């Protein structure tokens, strides 16, 4: 059941001896360099895993949108609208309309089921048998959350869904590429319990104690519809691009009101971190989020559906993910090395695209 939400206004990072001794600064820089290299090595392994998943066969994307209780008429209406907008965007982009499930507190056209715990469990049970390792699984939580200094809870009709229960449900999904976007208040308390290798976790708040209504959801959904969120202009909105867009707009929103922000979004995709507000190669966060497109601009994907075409699309995705990883590492590479590797990947991508175009003529 929903708890009272604070702040109900609406809406709202010497060599002197020439022997074996190094200066403290040199030692420090060596340690930093080693740590950064290790982080990049680990992230490379994860990115390779993403690429392998795409290579093993044509992957599909499955998405579940869950809208919880609002507690007040204005919030109820707002959460329902957010859910509808997100469902529409994801369904339009999906390769198959029946891969997107919307659960809400109020039934209307498009709502698959009421967002009660038993209905949520049923959807996860269905997807546990359908989703394959090479697929992508997305979960979006919209509404209010609560935190009692012990456990995060998602406020839904009937008994709340605890973070322990949610983590267990997610553990049954076999997809190697997963993303959870928790847009609720107090969602920061869900980040650590949900993290794992291969899963991107985004939360609207940095901690469970940020209990005020969160605006992050509004701007994250807006990012999936706004071409301005496509920072690298590749006609896709990645999870990282949507996160950065929403974080920027939330900050701008509070600045326009000359108020201190009561929410600070976090992202974690290493599988062992505490989450950061500004993902970068230096802190090792954001690589997987940069490589995972949430929507493709320009409407529904169309094209021939043959084994050869599916194989080419999987190869296309693998190369695109390598390009995203290369862009992520650009700051730590020599300019000439970066240009050579980028050119090689772009040529390979162009060749695959040409073969796809020939098939679709």
Taking only the tens place, the pLDDT of each residue in 215-242 is 999 999 999 999 999 998 888 999 999 9
Q: Taking the domain 53-296, which CATH number applies?
A: 3.40.50.1460
**pLDDT for residue 212 is more than 90:** yes
CA triplet 190, 67, 133: central angle to 5 degrees? 65
d(CA 32, CA 34): 5
Model pLDDT for residues 107-147, shown as the tens digit of each residue:
999 999 999 999 999 999 999 999 999 999 999 999 999 99
61 near 138, Cβ under 8 Å? yes
Instruction: Note the Cα 274 to chain centre separation in Å.
Output: 15
Structural contact between residues 341 and 360, judged by C-beta atoms closer than 8 angstroms: no
Q: Mean pLDDT across the chain, nearest whole number?
A: 83
Strands 199-203 and 177-182: parallel
Give the span between the Cα atoms of 207 and 188, in whole angstroms: 4
Whether 342 shows a pLDDT value over 60: the answer reads yes
Q: Are 83 and 142 in contact (CB under 8 A)?
A: yes
Q: Enter the DSSP assignment of 288.
A: H
Give me the half-sphere count of Cα atoms (radius 13 Å) on the Cβ side of residue 269. 34
If we measure between CA atoms, which residue out of 15, 17, 13 comes closest to residue 25?
15
Q: Would you kindly state where each structural domain of the chain is located, as residue ranges?
A: 53-296, 303-359
């Amino acid at each position: 059941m929903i708890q009272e939400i604070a702040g109900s206004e609406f809406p709202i990072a010497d060599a002197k001896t020439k022997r074996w001794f190094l200066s403290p600064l040199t030692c420090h820089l060596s340690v930093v360099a080693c740590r950064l290299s290790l982080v990049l090595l680990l992230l490379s392994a994860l990115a390779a895993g993403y690429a392998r998943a795409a290579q093993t066969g044509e992957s599909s994307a499955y998405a579940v949108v869950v809208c919880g209780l609002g507690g007040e008429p204005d919030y109820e209406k707002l959460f329902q609208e957010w859910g509808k907008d997100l469902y529409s965007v994801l369904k339009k982009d999906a390769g198959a309309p029946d891969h997107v499930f919307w659960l809400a507190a109020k039934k209307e056209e498009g709502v698959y089921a009421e967002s009660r715990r038993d209905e949520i469990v049923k959807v996860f049970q269905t997807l546990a048998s359908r989703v394959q390792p090479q697929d992508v699984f997305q979960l979006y939580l919209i509404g209010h959350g609560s935190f009692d200094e012990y456990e995060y809870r998602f406020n839904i009709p009937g008994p709340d869904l605890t973070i322990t229960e949610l983590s267990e449900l997610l553990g049954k999904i076999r997809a190697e590429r997963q993303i959870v976007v928790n847009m609720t208040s107090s969602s920061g308390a869900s980040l650590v319990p949900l993290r794992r290798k291969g899963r991107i976790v985004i939360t609207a708040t940095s901690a469970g104690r940020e209990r005020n209504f969160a605006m992050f959801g509004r701007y994250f959904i807006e990012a999936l519809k706004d071409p301005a969120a496509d920072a690298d202009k590749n006609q896709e909105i990645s999870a990282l691009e949507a996160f950065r867009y929403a974080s920027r707009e939330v900050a701008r929103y509070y600045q326009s009101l000359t108020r201190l922000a009561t929410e600070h979004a976090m992202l974690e995709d290493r599988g062992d971190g505490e989450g950061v507000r500004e993902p970068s190669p230096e802190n090792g966060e954001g690589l997987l989020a940069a490589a995972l497109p949430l929507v493709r601009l320009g409407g529904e994907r169309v094209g021939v559906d043959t084994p050869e075409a599916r194989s080419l699309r999987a190869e296309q995705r693998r190369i695109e993910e390598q390009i995203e990883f290369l862009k992520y590492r650009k700051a730590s590479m020599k300019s000439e090395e970066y240009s050579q590797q980028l050119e090689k990947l772009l040529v390979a991508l162009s060749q695959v695209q040409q073969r796809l175009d020939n098939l679709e003529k």
